[in-house]
Chain A
């Protein structure tokens, strides 16, 4: 666009004025989505704050108080859910905006009107792109800022009451909407903005290369999905995974870093996850990683450029035809075939059924689209030839890549002699730390390498949960991540995983740096019931004890008699760490057995009483039989302090094996909804079940029926 393109601004403002209805709808939707959500959330949080500040009752919270708190929390959640729906509406606006504004690409009469105006092609394109952006995306950004002003009131106010809401039997989403309103707002809004932006530029591109509105919208939605599936097939074959279509670091990150080809789906996934995840949810679940945002911006700019090239190349007479740039259509059709062939190869390798159905679906979709596009049956032989040739080439390519697993990429593990350091990160078996654990000594590097080999050998699903990053001596970085690392860890048991986690190097890194505060923990010792809620002094003592026992290698020697799961925050992150407690951990056991170390915070669990000295006395076990999917057999089983003297309870405890990690055994006992597990092996399952039944029968006979109010811990 020349600076002398005098009509650029006039054209731009004319288009904004012409589409003012769309602009108003977008603005109203945005106001509903962000500032309104922020106002409702802030108001709810303020209400909750007032209730808690004026609380005078002692003992368990009254029903009325709990109900009031839950109602207010529910309002915050509802606002958030409405916000998600409005984002969906905004996505539709961003999808439609380019086709409406660039109507001359789909309507012949409009092409006569706009293309004859005294404005250059470039000027017209930029003005229209900008007008669409202003309508679909800019109000979102403005309201995002507006929302921030209102949400400030809710920021951090209730984060200290996280546990209170945890115990109110509200969903994770409700709890987060109240306790982490600020973070939730930030992540939801940024994800929404990125999604809407990515959808807008995708639609812009397809509007510029198609000749009809329907094609513009359909291909804006369908092509990213096909592209994403194609890449996913490729990555699945390379990494030799048998499941999973999510995202992967490094090579695996390609689909995740192609947000414009998948942002809509990824964005939907983020919000869906926020609605469905029921444990260990953090506000970050809503967020796109920064790298994804950066690549989204880059790809949006590339799409803008591609849209401009299409605008320059397209001819006005192609308005009204399905595609103005026929090459794009051919690429999409080829991609469709490649995608289905990839699915076939992946299905074939996994011995999955439905090959014939997949072929039939491909044939039906392909031929329907071709006939719809060309409106002629004369070209059917050509279509068939294209289908067969493309399929053959794609099949060959996928097979080669699959057989060689990406020419060795998928199973590559660096030689430990070449490794300078290795970082294990991202919720590695219970330890959540964004930076990860770094090992530089050969012994631990060897252990990580062993763990990695196990992941590769066991064909573990790739994903985000467990990430290994090798920094090689030659400066290169090799990074892989896996989802099922917990099971790998369990399989390897004490030999590698626990040894690595309990090694002095790990303990030093986990507890060695920074100011630690807000420690919450779940502890259980076989020899004596303990509970959470350490005092500040107790926390310090426990940290020291862990370090002492870690350095003395007590964590890795001797019989496991208990487990601990700790949550704490340091200066910049919220951490979680699980460890097994062995009989040799004298320091830890001593701290945990010292009742002076326990205290309950003012609003801990169901108790409103302040400064109540803790006396860990009871636990509630949540018992589930993992051998079947019958959830009706799952139940709460309460063990109080006084039960410790009961021979049958003692016998039951003797049958239990402890682990800070989930183990797939017949009986899984989760304490305090944490990952601490007491498991009964298969051979002891019947005996454990018999004991539980007998204990329950005895209690019934004696009219001794405990409920959750008897327990300090509730699972």
Chain B
């Protein structure tokens, strides 16, 4: 299990991570969400032992990560920047991984290569951005480490390749119990792939839960009230929180945090003429949560 406890990381005067605490179960597919500059990449670099935290602790199976070669053998980090590999061919990259990760598996590499069929002896500088990304992911998966950290892994992939890469990751989780932590702006990808998600904003964790629990707790409600209502009218109702309320004619659309039972009860209490509860996509949840955290933008 990965434990991040009260971790603060500063870049000059700026807090990249601010007393952040997070736990990630072994064998899960963890999606790391957050706006630009939220601290996702910083967190992944801390987890891979590139950065050292200013305070707090980061452990995997209760062992500190930083400057610990034995533990770092179990972690493979795929950076959002693949420039470091541009001077290499895929074969050289493979050799690089093979050199440093004793868990490297040639069969895994071959089977993944069979799917993507990337040129083996062509320099990565001649690859497209998406192909470079695929190459790095293949190498990362071939390392067969217990933990795979992917920073914007799907960035630049076309839909077909996105699917293929996703499938590879799913297979790795199922077959080898790999813990995958993936940061992405593509929430649809996370929603389809991850079982647990965490949202970071300004270096703090907004939430970290199983995806079903996240999705089961925020709902979009379409209803109609006899008279005009505002957010404040729901303030005294326990167990629900109105994240958004917009009225158009007699129809009112709300985004409410709470269980469907509690929402139905609250709607009844306010004499709603009807009540349609619609599940939210992760993207909508992300936006509403971010708005709740003070991220200043409006959505329809």
Q: Does A113 contact B (CB under 8 A)?
A: yes
In the complex, which of the residues A14, A116, A120 contacts B96, with contact meaning CB atoms closer than 8 Å? A14
Q: Does B84 contact A (CB under 8 A)?
A: yes
Which A residues from 105 to 132 make CB contacts under 8 A with B? 107-113, 115-121, 123
What is the distance, in angstroms, from A186's C-beta to the closest C-beta of chain B?
41
Would you call A11 and B100 a contact (CB within 8 A)?
Answer: yes
In the complex, which of the residues A14, A109, A118, A121 contacts B83, with contact meaning CB atoms closer than 8 Å? A109
Q: A113-B84, A115-B49, A315-B52 are in contact. Are A120 and B69 (CB under 8 A)?
A: yes
- Find the A residue at minimum CB distance from B54: A315
Interface string of B56-97 (1 = CB under 8 A from A): 000000000001111111011101011111000000000010
How many inter-chain residue pairs (CB < 8 Å) link A and B? 66
Would you call A316 and B51 a contact (CB within 8 A)?
Answer: yes
Task: A116 to B41: give the CA distance in the assembly, Å.
Answer: 14
| Interfacial chain B residues near A116, Cβ < 8 Å | 48-50, 72, 75-77
| Interfacial chain B residues near A111, Cβ < 8 Å | 50
Would you call B81 and A112 a contact (CB within 8 A)?
Answer: yes
- Find the B residue at minimum CB distance from A117: B100
| Interfacial chain A residues near B85, Cβ < 8 Å | 113
Task: A112 to B46: give the CA distance in the assembly, Å.
Answer: 11
Task: A11 to B100: give the CA distance in the assembly, Å.
Answer: 8
What is the distance, in angstroms, from A668's C-beta to the closest C-beta of chain B?
65
- Find the B residue at minimum CB distance from A14: B99
What is the distance, in angstroms, from A211's C-beta to the closest C-beta of chain B?
13
What is the distance, in angstroms, from B159's C-beta to the closest C-beta of chain A?
27
Task: A6 to B73: give the CA distance in the assembly, Å.
Answer: 11
Q: Does B11 contact A (CB under 8 A)?
A: yes
What is the distance, in angstroms, from B31's C-beta to the closest C-beta of chain A?
21
Would you call A109 and B51 a contact (CB within 8 A)?
Answer: no
Known A-B contacts: A107-B83, A115-B50. Give 6 more (CB < 8 A). A5-B69, A112-B77, A116-B72, A116-B75, A116-B77, A315-B51
Q: Does A511 contact B (CB under 8 A)?
A: no
Q: Does A7 contact B (CB under 8 A)?
A: yes
In the complex, which of the residues A7, A10, A11, A316 contacts B45, with contact meaning CB atoms closer than 8 Å? A316
In the complex, which of the residues B82, B84, B96, B101 contacts A118, with contact meaning CB atoms closer than 8 Å? B101
Would you call A112 and B84 a contact (CB within 8 A)?
Answer: yes
| Interfacial chain B residues near A112, Cβ < 8 Å | 45, 50, 77, 79, 81, 84
What is the distance, in angstroms, from B102's C-beta to the closest C-beta of chain A?
8
Task: A115 to B76: give the CA distance in the assembly, Å.
Answer: 11
What is the distance, in angstroms, from A544's C-beta to the closest C-beta of chain B?
76
Q: A111-B50, A112-B45, A117-B100 are in contact. Are A7 and B69 (CB under 8 A)?
A: yes
Task: A110 to B52: give the CA distance in the assembly, Å.
Answer: 17
- Find the A residue at minimum CB distance from B74: A118
Instruction: Name the residue in A116, A315, A316 with the highest tally of chain B Cβ atoms < 10 Å from its Cβ.
Output: A116
| Interfacial chain B residues near A110, Cβ < 8 Å | 84
- Find the A residue at minimum CB distance from B49: A116
Task: A258 to B287: give the CA distance in the assembly, Å.
Answer: 62
Q: Does A317 contact B (CB under 8 A)?
A: yes
Task: A108 to B45: give the CA distance in the assembly, Å.
Answer: 12
Would you call B72 and A118 a contact (CB within 8 A)?
Answer: yes
| Interfacial chain A residues near B73, Cβ < 8 Å | 118
What is the distance, in angstroms, from B207's C-beta to the closest C-beta of chain A?
27
Q: Residues of B with Cβ closer than 8 Å to A?
A: 11, 45, 48-52, 67-73, 75-77, 79, 81-85, 96, 99-102
| Interfacial chain A residues near B50, Cβ < 8 Å | 111-112, 115-116, 316
| Interfacial chain B residues near A115, Cβ < 8 Å | 49-50
Task: A119 to B79: give the CA distance in the assembly, Å.
Answer: 18
Task: A11 to B73: give the CA distance in the assembly, Å.
Answer: 14
| Interfacial chain A residues near B102, Cβ < 8 Å | 6
What is the distance, in angstroms, from B158's C-beta to the closest C-beta of chain A?
23
| Interfacial chain B residues near A121, Cβ < 8 Å | 67
Which A residues from 86 to 120 make CB contacts under 8 A with B? 107-113, 115-120
| Interfacial chain A residues near B45, Cβ < 8 Å | 112, 316
| Interfacial chain B residues near A118, Cβ < 8 Å | 69-73, 100-101
Which A residues from 634 to 676 make CB contacts under 8 A with B? none
Task: A120 to B100: give the CA distance in the assembly, Å.
Answer: 12
Q: Residues of A with Cβ closer than 8 Å to B?
A: 5-7, 10-11, 14, 107-113, 115-121, 123, 315-317
Task: A119 to B49: give the CA distance in the assembly, Å.
Answer: 11
Task: A110 to B88: give the CA distance in the assembly, Å.
Answer: 13
- Find the B residue at minimum CB distance from A5: B69
| Interfacial chain A residues near B71, Cβ < 8 Å | 118
- Find the A residue at minimum CB distance from B41: A112
- Find the A residue at minimum CB distance from B12: A317
Would you call B11 and A317 a contact (CB within 8 A)?
Answer: yes
| Interfacial chain A residues near B67, Cβ < 8 Å | 120-121
Task: A399 to B120: give the CA distance in the assembly, Å.
Answer: 69
Task: A107 to B81: give the CA distance in the assembly, Å.
Answer: 11
| Interfacial chain A residues near B81, Cβ < 8 Å | 108-109, 112
Task: A108 to B49: give the CA distance in the assembly, Å.
Answer: 14
- Find the B residue at minimum CB distance from A10: B99
What is the distance, in angstroms, from A198's C-beta to the closest C-beta of chain B?
30
| Interfacial chain A residues near B83, Cβ < 8 Å | 107, 109
Would you call A107 and B100 a contact (CB within 8 A)?
Answer: no
Would you call B72 and A109 a contact (CB within 8 A)?
Answer: no
| Interfacial chain A residues near B100, Cβ < 8 Å | 7, 10-11, 14, 117-119
What is the distance, in angstroms, from B90's C-beta to the closest C-beta of chain A?
15
Task: A11 to B51: give the CA distance in the assembly, Å.
Answer: 20
- Find the A residue at minimum CB distance from B102: A6
What is the distance, in angstroms, from A584's C-beta to the closest C-beta of chain B?
82
Would you call A107 and B51 a contact (CB within 8 A)?
Answer: no
Would you call B84 and A109 a contact (CB within 8 A)?
Answer: yes
Task: A16 to B275: give the CA distance in the assembly, Å.
Answer: 70
- Find the B residue at minimum CB distance from A103: B84
Instruction: Name the residue in B50, B76, B77 with the highest tally of chain A Cβ atoms < 10 Å from its Cβ.
Output: B50
What is the distance, in angstroms, from B17's C-beta to the closest C-beta of chain A?
12
Task: A120 to B73: give the CA distance in the assembly, Å.
Answer: 11
Task: A110 to B85: give the CA distance in the assembly, Å.
Answer: 9
Task: A120 to B84: give the CA distance in the assembly, Å.
Answer: 20
| Interfacial chain A residues near B79, Cβ < 8 Å | 109, 112-113
What is the distance, in angstroms, from B95's C-beta to the closest C-beta of chain A?
9
What is the distance, in angstroms, from B198's C-beta to the closest C-beta of chain A?
21
Task: A316 to B41: give the CA distance in the assembly, Å.
Answer: 13
In the complex, which of the residues A7, A109, A119 contacts B82, with contact meaning CB atoms closer than 8 Å? A109
A-B contact pairs, 7 of them (CB 8 A): A107-B84, A112-B84, A115-B50, A116-B75, A117-B100, A118-B71, A315-B51
Task: A107 to B70: give the CA distance in the assembly, Å.
Answer: 25
- Find the B residue at minimum CB distance from A119: B69
Task: A107 to B76: give the CA distance in the assembly, Å.
Answer: 19
| Interfacial chain A residues near B76, Cβ < 8 Å | 116
Q: A14-B99, A315-B52, A316-B50 are in contact. Are A117 and B84 (CB under 8 A)?
A: no
In the complex, which of the residues A6, A113, A317 contacts B51, with contact meaning CB atoms closer than 8 Å? A317
| Interfacial chain B residues near A317, Cβ < 8 Å | 11, 51
| Interfacial chain B residues near A119, Cβ < 8 Å | 69, 72, 100
What is the distance, in angstroms, from B189's C-beta to the closest C-beta of chain A?
22
Task: A111 to B84: give the CA distance in the assembly, Å.
Answer: 9
| Interfacial chain A residues near B84, Cβ < 8 Å | 107, 109-110, 112-113
What is the distance, in angstroms, from A507's C-beta to the closest C-beta of chain B?
70
Instruction: Name the residue in A5, A113, A119, A121 with the highest tally of chain B Cβ atoms < 10 Å from its Cβ.
Output: A113
Task: A123 to B76: give the CA distance in the assembly, Å.
Answer: 19
Would you call A117 and B51 a contact (CB within 8 A)?
Answer: no
What is the distance, in angstroms, from B181's C-beta to the closest C-beta of chain A?
13
- Find the B residue at minimum CB distance from A318: B11
Task: A203 to B113: give the CA distance in the assembly, Å.
Answer: 42
Task: A672 to B52: give the CA distance in the assembly, Å.
Answer: 73
Closest 10 interchain pairs by CB? Answer: A112-B79, A109-B84, A109-B83, A118-B72, A113-B84, A118-B73, A118-B69, A115-B50, A116-B48, A116-B77
Instruction: Name the residue in A5, A10, A120, A317 with the highest tally of chain B Cβ atoms < 10 Å from its Cβ.
Output: A317
Task: A55 to B290: give the CA distance in the assembly, Å.
Answer: 99
What is the distance, in angstroms, from A12's C-beta to the closest C-beta of chain B?
11
Would you call B11 and A117 a contact (CB within 8 A)?
Answer: no
- Find the A residue at minimum CB distance from B11: A317
